[in-house]
Amino acid sequence: MTEKEKYFAQELFLTFLLLCAVIFLLGDVLAGFKYFVILALAGGFSFSYFNQKAPERLVKTAVDIASVAAFLWLVFSVFNSSLYYREVIAACVRGAFIFAAAFSFGSAYGSSLHYIQAASLPLFMSFPVLETGYSPFSLALILGYIIGWAALFRVKFYAAFRTAKPTQRIYSRRDYSNISLFIIFLAVVSLSWALFSRIPLAPSQKGGIFPVPDTERQMQEENLEKEYYRLQEELQKGIIRLIPSFPGADERFEVLGLLDSLLKEWPYYTMRVEDAEEGLRSRLKNLGPGIEEGDGKHITLVMESYVRAKTALALKLLSKEMTSQLKKNPFNIFDRLNTLAQMHGLRTAKSYRKVQAAGRSLKDSIAYSSLGAEVKKRLFGLSADFKEWKDYDGYRQKIAGLEAGLAEFSAVEAEGILGILNGIRQLENPADYAALDSQIAQLEGSTSPELKEAGDGLDEVLSFRLELLLAQKLRELEKKIETAGLPHYLAAEFKEEITALKTTEGKERFAEEAQRLRERAGGYNIDIAGQTEELSTAKAGASAKERQAAAEVTFEPQQTAPPPAEEGPRPDEPQTVSSRALLPRLLRRIIPFLFAGIAVFFSVLYYLTRKKQKELLGLFLQDPRGFVIRLYQNLRQVFGIFGLRDNSFITSFQYALTAQEKFSIADNLFLNFSAKYQEARCSQHAFKGEDSAAALEVYNSCLKKMFEKTSRWVLFYCYLLTLMRKSPLLIGEGGIR
């Protein structure tokens, strides 16, 4: 084993250990094919070591094919995901490991091994995004990864000198101590810190263009179903145990019916759950003081936790179904991102006003998207159900907040607030909301800040209740149409009209659409006048409350002082991204960096080309023969960039004639230069500086003749290509001209 092979084997082994540490660190992300990736990496590195003399072209072709396949898999995985930030990162991590496995088979050629080592860094840094906690095992892997990089740097450092050419000095391990390595490491870290802390690239938002789900809610959802069924079992056992305590068989059957309605599996509806919970709560209170303080109170608390879990589960299932519907148009990336952002904004909204605004934004994003008609139709229905459950979630949270704050009021005030709250809970007819609204207005007009705040909370509870009643009345109307015995196609048409009615904005337009639906149903002898009247009343009340909430937010008294600086969004503010504004925002972010990257890229190429030109001029007097040969080869490479194919099967004489004809080079300049090149390559006599000067003059003259017949745009394009090939053009005292 040669010195070079020994260092190559060590580098392969350390790279494999680095990737294994990252793989086990991200075990949950790669759970499906973790060991497959490890075996593929081991096989690829072994193949590279034992087949270092294999045909390079064949191996590179196989690696390229595998890389293209991995890229297509990555694109498909990202587009077919839910496009949440964590899922996109997880898909990219899996794709990066597949790329690393493919590149491992070409580690002996080019820079494939360096790419794999560099790719392990972002994979390692993605660990905090994809994992939620640290364990002793993960901490050991992190420490091992850092130590592995230190060992890899040491191997690379020594290999750079131990495998030098025989004419160069061979350094020993004693020449470079660990202190020098540590000094280099500190210098790199200090420079990186100074660069990235003092010169930030751009302000960034968490998640970028991809929506970021709430981490706390995401952790709760991981165990949501388990908690839901645990509470369901506990509630069922507790109610059944209390059945003998209820007086009379009729009441016992009623309790069992309410329990069955509350425990109904998906699909279940908000008002059915609310009515069942309120019915059980009232019957548990009527069991008596002893029972209420004992089992009854415990069962009430379990029931409240169960309904909270049921609400969260409904939101999760609806969100999952909407995401699966969006996946039916996997390449409509901007509309999917926009809809997901609006859905995330609705899910994180807290107040009544923000829930309604986010619901409208979600509906508009679906309406103005270019999704398919069937997908849109399904999404409209799901978004209406999603908003209904969000209204119910806000309704329950506001009630819980009011009940928790009753202790701050006097007995009379608390009794009045509780009376209004119970009236809202028992509200069934939307037309009766006006009396409750007037009582709430009295509280809001109070001089006491606490009573005014309680009035605002009650107003939001009433607003949420009206939204829930509106959804319930729409569902009752839909059920009446379904049971009318209409043909299938007519029932489907009526269902579509009711779905459209759910998303209709404005009480006037809603009333018009409801009247049109009533007239059409009357043509088939279906009387829905009562239902449409209740719907119009509920919509009018909900619209009035929504306008009132919006007016309270938008009204601001005049101020003589300048307005305060704009603050960032509140945590419960729905963060939305318009599909029309997304592309310009991306372009504004990307284009400056793109131009800056191109400028830096070609600046580096210019520097390298200039360096090559200086090396070429260094042969002018030291090695005139080599100068003539390299100058001719550079000119042929430039001719190839400008459109003359360098055919190795024709003689230099034939090539010179073809070049002179194509580029209009007169006086046989290039033909004479070709003859000089053949003389320098084949003869044994000495070349002098005069030969170098004559060759350089002919070289520059040939290029000037070619430039005269070339347009400026073509010349600029070819100049960029020469920089990419590191081929100097005009060479002289002034450098590259």
- Give 250-297 as a DSSP string: HHHHHHHHHHHHHTPPSS--HHHHHHHHHHHHHHHHTT-HHHIIIIIH
Whether residues 98 and 44 share a domain: the answer is yes
What does the pLDDT read at residue 6? 81
Residue 571 has pLDDT above 70, yes or no: no
Q: Which amino acid is at 453?
A: E
Q: Distance between CA 702 and CA 158 in Å, rounded? A: 47
Question: Among the listed ranges 205-209, 275-279, 634-638, 719-723, which one has the minimum average pLDDT value?
Answer: 205-209
Q: What is the mean pLDDT of residues 631-644?
A: 84
What does the pLDDT read at residue 550? 56
What does the pLDDT read at residue 178? 54
**Total domains present in the chain:** 4
Residue 573 has pLDDT above 50, yes or no: no
Q: Are 25 and 122 in contact (CB under 8 A)?
A: no
Q: Is residue 707 part of a domain?
A: yes
Q: Is residue 438 part of a domain?
A: yes
What does the pLDDT read at residue 133? 60
Q: Are 470 and 535 in contact (CB under 8 A)?
A: yes
Q: What is the pLDDT of residues 116-125, one digit of tens each?
A: 888 888 888 8
Q: Is residue 214 part of a domain?
A: no
Residue 449 has pLDDT above 50, yes or no: yes
Residue 179 has pLDDT above 70, yes or no: no
Q: What is the mean pLDDT of residues 366-381?
A: 83
Tracing tokens 């790419």 back to the chain, one arrives at 115
What does the pLDDT read at residue 173? 42
Whether residues 354 and 457 share a domain: the answer is yes
Both structure tokens of 565: 């600086």
Q: Are 536 and 510 in contact (CB under 8 A)?
A: yes
What does the pLDDT read at residue 569? 42
Greatest mean pLDDT among 187-191, 202-206, 253-257 lies in 253-257
Whether residues 407 and 357 share a domain: the answer is yes
Whether residues 429 and 491 share a domain: the answer is no
Q: Are 366 and 436 in contact (CB under 8 A)?
A: no
Q: Distance between CA 537 and CA 543 in Å, rounded? A: 10
Question: Among the listed ranges 367-376, 555-564, 670-679, which one has the minimum average pLDDT value?
Answer: 555-564
Q: Is residue 196 part of a domain?
A: no
Is pLDDT larger for residue 466 or for residue 578?
A: 466
Whether residues 42 and 146 share a domain: the answer is yes
Length in residues, the chain? 737
DSSP string computed for 571-612:
TTS-----HHHHHHHHHHHHHHHHHHHHHHHHHHHHHHHHHH
Question: Which residue, of 465, 490, 514, is where some domain finishes?
Answer: 465
What does the pLDDT read at residue 733? 45
Q: Distance between CA 332 and CA 192 in Å, rounded? A: 39
Q: What is the pLDDT of residues 308-338, one digit of tens each?
A: 888 888 888 888 888 888 877 766 777 777 8
Question: Which residue, of 528, 552, 576, is where some domain finishes?
Answer: 552
- Is the bond leading into 267 cis (omega within 30 degrees of zero)? yes
Q: What is the mean pLDDT of residues 422-449?
A: 80
Question: Among the listed ranges 216-230, 235-249, 292-306, which one has the minimum average pLDDT value?
Answer: 216-230
Q: Distance between CA 322 and CA 211 in Å, rounded? A: 15
Residue 570 has pLDDT above 80, yes or no: no
Is pLDDT larger for residue 524 or for residue 199?
A: 524
Whether residues 413 and 501 share a domain: the answer is no
What does the pLDDT read at residue 1? 67
Residue 70 burial by CB count (10 A; 0-12/13-18/19+): exposed, middle or buried? buried
Residue 174 has pLDDT above 50, yes or no: no
Nearest to 474 by CA among 538, 383, 389, 392: 538
Give the model's confidence band at 192: pLDDT under 50 very low, under 70 low, under 90 confident, else very high: low
Q: Distance between CA 167 and CA 421 in Å, rounded? A: 93
DSSP string computed for 43-100:
HHHHHHHHTTTS-HHHHHHHHHHHHHHHHHHHHHHHHTS---HHHHHHHHHHHHHHHH
For residue 524, give the 3-state DSSP assignment: coil
Whether residues 73 and 118 share a domain: the answer is yes
Q: Is residue 326 part of a domain?
A: yes
Whether residues 659 and 528 share a domain: the answer is no
Phi, psi (degrees; rounded to nearest 5) at 168: -95, 160
Whether residues 420 and 510 share a domain: the answer is no
Give the model's confidence band at 481: pLDDT under 50 very low, under 70 low, under 90 confident, else very high: confident
What does the pLDDT read at residue 340? 79
Whether residues 309 and 396 share a domain: the answer is yes
Q: Is residue 577 part of a domain?
A: no
Question: Among the listed ranges 93-97, 205-209, 385-389, 699-703, which one has the minimum average pLDDT value?
Answer: 205-209
What does the pLDDT read at residue 321? 87
Both structure tokens of 240: 């059944």
Q: Give the distance from CA 172 to its chain's centroid.
A: 49
What does the pLDDT read at residue 189? 63
Residue 579 has pLDDT above 50, yes or no: no
Question: Among the listed ranges 213-227, 416-430, 551-565, 647-661, which one has the minimum average pLDDT value?
Answer: 551-565
- What residue numbers bound the domain in which 94 lies? 3-165+178-191
What does the pLDDT read at residue 193? 60
Distances (CA, A) of 720 to 636, 703, 712, 713: 17, 16, 12, 11
Question: Which residue, of 552, 568, 589, is where some domain finishes?
Answer: 552
Question: Among the listed ranges 403-412, 418-427, 503-512, 597-606, which one has the minimum average pLDDT value?
Answer: 503-512
Q: Are 660 and 692 in contact (CB under 8 A)?
A: no
Cβ neighbours for 408, distance < 8 A, ≥ 6 positions apart:
450
Q: Is residue 87 part of a domain?
A: yes
Whether residues 497 and 446 share a domain: the answer is no
Whether residues 490 and 632 share a domain: the answer is no
Q: Is residue 233 part of a domain?
A: no
The model scores a pTM over 0.85: no
